[in-house]
């Protein structure tokens, strides 16, 4: 078969028939229902495989636990070397993996290649980190004592990921967890089985040359939500890192908390941008369009709420609508395409429903609706929508995973920040201004309440070097760069007495 998906799978080395479960270098058939994977580009069938069942979770976590016993003793720089080798394979197969992302998620080539670049970047970051898992030394109050922290591997980590970043989010977790000494048990979205199988295959190829790497540091379970539920409940997984909707995060958080495990939650966003009168509108318009329609509005950081000063609102709206009218929407693999399809018909229905509700709530809707002409048949293509709406409309409180941009007007920055912060989610935020004081206000404790606070760039497109994540219903987790690695390790505070006396802390006498 000469389908580009098959060519990419072959080049990566994926074996047929496809299996939903991998324990390290072994593939196992899933025991769950059969899944047919269709492309959002044209609805074509790409793969059929039996999903993992919840009953298979135990077998995988037992293997991961055994791998942990050995992996935690491999020196961290040697663990980093494994990640470096994996990154080298990713570089060699960047185009193949990007092709699979485009076919499974509908991302345009630029964004798909960019997603793989994020994986490569996090591998590089993790390699450096493998020599920098620093603990502090503190001054002891007792003579002849040393007080210091050590960071130790934590244990196998469960990773539940969403469809829209099918591989980068796993890589953020896996690369960091591996250098920290933790195996991974990955449950990707059931909408993206092929990219997951490709990633695991590349891990297997990396392991083939490394006798010191226990294969079950990398495990895969492609299954439905019930597999995720069982991972959340598994006592063998001290940390569960879950990316997806707020509803999923609530369920996972509850289950993990019941067994007093740790959860790292990366949930829905409802991201806002304020455009002040002094903004460079040229830059602002470009940032707005990329953030609002990139990945067809299916990024957790997609721009959903545009809060514009009333003095420039009409002009800005008209410029955006002009661009929306000629957006190249279509086959994401086509040259020049900027907006690909939604992931499925359910997503298109959700978009249509949200627009109908917005209208009922007084919104003035521009655009929206299915696009049937000039796009591949069988795919779900939509016109991007802009909705002028009042700040109090209840629809503004919810994330709709589609290219809908709500526009709200404001009079003073205090009001704009209040509108901005008035939603339950707290992921990404942005302000366009040329006023230093406004910029600093937005970044201050009295400014944006989000985990990501940008000035003069859009809400989407984060770099891996920073800690990524959000507040409030977004879940509070931080992944990727900065000191996010600490969540994948356990901290031991060591006190060593080399004095020959036994002085007690706080000067307590106990003779
Ligand atoms: P989803 O919540 O439907 O699914 C995400 C993952 O969770 C899938 O693997 C799914 O099978 C699993 N799952 C669903 N219910 C579960 C349960 N009860 N227990 C355990 N696992 C369960 O989300 P989606 O549609 O794939 O992705 C879109 C959502 O993800 C959006 O809300 C988006 O904002 C969010 N997202 C957030 C980030 C972030 O970093 N904050 C990144 C990407 C996506």
* % of the chain at pLDDT higher than 70: 100
Cβ–ligand 1 distance for 228 under 6 Å, the answer yes
Beta bridge partners of 27: 22
Q: Which atom of ligand 1 is nearest to the CA of 163?
A: 26
Mean pLDDT along residues 100-120: 98
Confidence check: pLDDT of 2 > 90: no
Cβ–ligand 1 distance for 182 under 6 Å, the answer no
Burial class (CB in 10 A: 0-12, 13-18, 19+), 411: exposed
Distance CA 397, CA 246 (A): 13
For residue 243, the CA-to-ligand 1 centroid distance in Å is: 5
Written as six digits, the tokens of 53 are 């069942």
Phi, psi of 430 (to 5 degrees): -150, 150
pLDDT of residue 382: 98
pLDDT of residue 413: 98
For residue 227, the CA-to-ligand 1 centroid distance in Å is: 13
In DSSP notation, 453-470 reads EEESS-SS---TTSEE--
Cβ–ligand 1 distance for 269 under 6 Å, the answer yes
Written as six digits, the tokens of 183 are 């195996």
Cβ–ligand 1 distance for 255 under 6 Å, the answer no
Cβ–ligand 1 distance for 484 under 6 Å, the answer no
Instruction: Decide if 240 contacts 160 (C-beta within 8 A).
Output: yes
Secondary structure, 3-state, 368-380: CCECCCCCCCCCC
Q: Which atom of ligand 1 is nearest to the CA of 251?
A: 18
Instruction: Decide if 85 contacts 209 (C-beta within 8 A).
Output: yes
**Residue pLDDT, tens place only, 200-246:** 999 999 999 899 999 999 999 999 999 999 999 999 999 999 999 99
Report which protein residue has its CA nearest ligand 1's atom 30: 244
**Residue pLDDT, tens place only, 449-485:** 999 999 999 999 899 999 999 999 999 999 999 999 9
Tell me the pairing of strands 404-410 and 385-388: parallel
* Cα angle 425, 470, 170; round to 5: 120
- CA Rg, the chain, in Å? 24
Q: Which atom of ligand 1 is nearest to the CA of 247?
A: 2
Q: Which atom of ligand 1 is nearest to the CA of 268?
A: 34
Active centre residues (catalytic) = 266, 300
Query: Which residues are CB-contacts of 501 (< 8 A; sequence separation ≥ 6)?
Result: 143, 144
Cβ–ligand 1 distance for 27 under 6 Å, the answer no
Written as six digits, the tokens of 470 are 């959000």
CA distances to 22, 208, 290 from 201, in Å? 9, 11, 33
Phi, psi of 111 (to 5 degrees): -75, -35
Phi, psi of 261 (to 5 degrees): -85, 180
Q: Which atom of ligand 1 is nearest to the CA of 190?
A: 11
For residue 495, the CA-to-ligand 1 centroid distance in Å is: 42
Tell me the pairing of strands 428-432 and 452-455: parallel
Side by side, the strands of the sheet bearing 157-160 are 26-28, 21-23, 218-221, 184-187, 157-160, 239-243, 262-266
For residue 89, the CA-to-ligand 1 centroid distance in Å is: 28
Report which protein residue has its CA nearest ligand 1's atom 35: 244
Cβ–ligand 1 distance for 467 under 6 Å, the answer no
Cβ–ligand 1 distance for 265 under 6 Å, the answer no
For residue 248, the CA-to-ligand 1 centroid distance in Å is: 6
pLDDT of residue 187: 98
Q: Which atom of ligand 1 is nearest to the CA of 266?
A: 41
For residue 267, the CA-to-ligand 1 centroid distance in Å is: 7
Confidence check: pLDDT of 504 > 60: yes
Instruction: Decide if 59 contacts 79 (C-beta within 8 A).
Output: no
Cβ–ligand 1 distance for 167 under 6 Å, the answer no
User: Where do runs of H (alpha helix) occur along 211-312?
Assistant: 225-233, 246-258, 281-293
Cβ–ligand 1 distance for 190 under 6 Å, the answer yes
Cβ–ligand 1 distance for 168 under 6 Å, the answer no
Q: Which atom of ligand 1 is nearest to the CA of 301?
A: 34
Burial class (CB in 10 A: 0-12, 13-18, 19+), 270: buried
**Residue pLDDT, tens place only, 266-311:** 999 999 999 999 999 999 999 999 999 999 999 999 999 999 999 9
Half-sphere exposure of 177 (CA within 13 A, CB side): 29
For residue 279, the CA-to-ligand 1 centroid distance in Å is: 35
**Residue pLDDT, tens place only, 20-61:** 999 999 999 999 999 999 999 999 999 999 999 999 999 999
Residue in the block written with tokens 């600490």: 486
Confidence check: pLDDT of 18 > 90: yes
DSSP 3-state assignment of 220? strand
For residue 232, the CA-to-ligand 1 centroid distance in Å is: 14
Written as six digits, the tokens of 91 are 């570089």
Report which protein residue has its CA nearest ligand 1's atom 14: 225
Whose CA is closest to 295, among 101, 108, 98, 94? 108
Report which protein residue has its CA nearest ligand 1's atom 12: 225
Whose CA is closest to 413, among 435, 392, 390? 435
Confidence check: pLDDT of 1 > 60: no
**Residue pLDDT, tens place only, 119-144:** 999 999 999 999 999 999 999 999 99
Cβ–ligand 1 distance for 118 under 6 Å, the answer no
For residue 399, the CA-to-ligand 1 centroid distance in Å is: 13
Q: For a substitution probing ligand 1, which of 172, 220, 243, 244 has the most ligand atoms within 8 Å of its CB?
A: 244
How many residues are there in the chain? 511
Cβ–ligand 1 distance for 267 under 6 Å, the answer yes
Instruction: Decide if 234 contacts 199 (C-beta within 8 A).
Output: no
DSSP 3-state assignment of 145? strand
Whose CA is closest to 453, among 425, 476, 429? 429
Contacts 24+ apart (CB under 8 A), 173-176: 173/241, 173/479, 174/218, 175/83, 175/86, 175/87, 175/119, 175/122, 175/123, 175/125, 175/126, 176/122, 176/125, 176/126, 176/129, 176/479, 176/480, 176/484, 176/485, 176/488
């Amino acid at each position: 078969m000469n389908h580009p998906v098959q060519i990419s799978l072959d080049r990566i080395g994926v074996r047929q028939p496809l299996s939903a479960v991998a324990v390290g270098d072994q593939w196992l058939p899933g025991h769950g229902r059969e899944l047919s994977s269709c492309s959002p580009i044209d609805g074509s069938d790409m793969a059929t495989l039996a999903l993992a069942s919840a009953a298979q979770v135990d077998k995988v976590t037992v293997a991961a636990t055994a791998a942990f016993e050995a992996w935690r003793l491999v020196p961290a720089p040697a663990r980093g070397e494994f990640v470096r080798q994996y990154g080298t394979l990713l570089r060699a197969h960047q185009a193949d993996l990007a092709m699979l992302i485009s076919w499974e998620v509908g991302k345009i080539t630029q964004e798909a290649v960019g997603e793989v670049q994020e994986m490569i970047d996090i591998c590089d970051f993790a390699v450096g980190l493998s020599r920098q898992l620093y603990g502090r030394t503190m001054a002891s109050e007792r003579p002849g004592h040393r007080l210091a922290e050590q960071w130790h591997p934590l244990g196998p980590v469960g990773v539940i990921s969403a469809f829209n970043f099918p591989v980068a989010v796993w890589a953020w977790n896996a690369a960091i967890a591996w250098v920290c000494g933790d195996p991974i048990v990955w449950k990707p979205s059931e909408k993206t089985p092929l990219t997951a199988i490709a990633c695991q295959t590349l891990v297997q190829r990396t392991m083939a040359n490394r006798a010191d790497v226990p294969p079950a540091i990398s495990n895969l379970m492609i299954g439905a939500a019930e597999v995720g539920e069982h991972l959340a409940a598994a006592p063998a997984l001290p940390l569960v890192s879950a990316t997806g909707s707020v509803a999923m995060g609530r369920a996972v958080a509850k289950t993990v908390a019941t067994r007093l495990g740790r959860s790292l939650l990366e949930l829905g966003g409802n991201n806002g941008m304020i455009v002040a009168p002094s903004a460079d509108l040229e830059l602002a318009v470009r940032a707005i369009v990329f953030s609002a329609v990139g990945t067809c509005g299916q990024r957790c950081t997609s721009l959903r709420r545009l809060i514009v000063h009333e003095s420039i609102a009409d002009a800005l709206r008209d410029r955006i609508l002009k661009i929306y009218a000629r957006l190249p929407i279509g086959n994401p693999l086509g040259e020049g395409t900027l907006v690909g399809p939604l992931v499925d018909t359910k997503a298109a229905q959700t978009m249509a429903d949200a627009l109908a509700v917005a209208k009922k709530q007084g919104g003035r809707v521009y655009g929206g609706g299915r696009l049937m002409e000039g796009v591949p048949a069988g795919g779900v293509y939509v016109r991007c929508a802009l909705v002028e709406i009042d700040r109090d409309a209840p629809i503004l409180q919810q994330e709709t995973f589609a290219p809908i941009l709500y526009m709200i007007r404001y009079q003073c920055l205090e009001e704009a920040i209040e509108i901005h912060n008035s939603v339950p989610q707290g992921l990404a935020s942005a302000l366009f201004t040329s006023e230093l004081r406004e910029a600093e206000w937005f970044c201050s404790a009295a400014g944006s309440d989000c985990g990501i606070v940008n000035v003069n760039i859009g809400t989407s497109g984060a770099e891996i070097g920073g800690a990524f994540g959000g507040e409030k219903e977004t879940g509070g987790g931080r992944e990727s760069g900065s000191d996010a690695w600490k969540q994948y390790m356990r901290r031991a505070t060591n006190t060593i007495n080399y004095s020959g006396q036994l002085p007690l802390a706080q000067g307590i006498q106990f003779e």
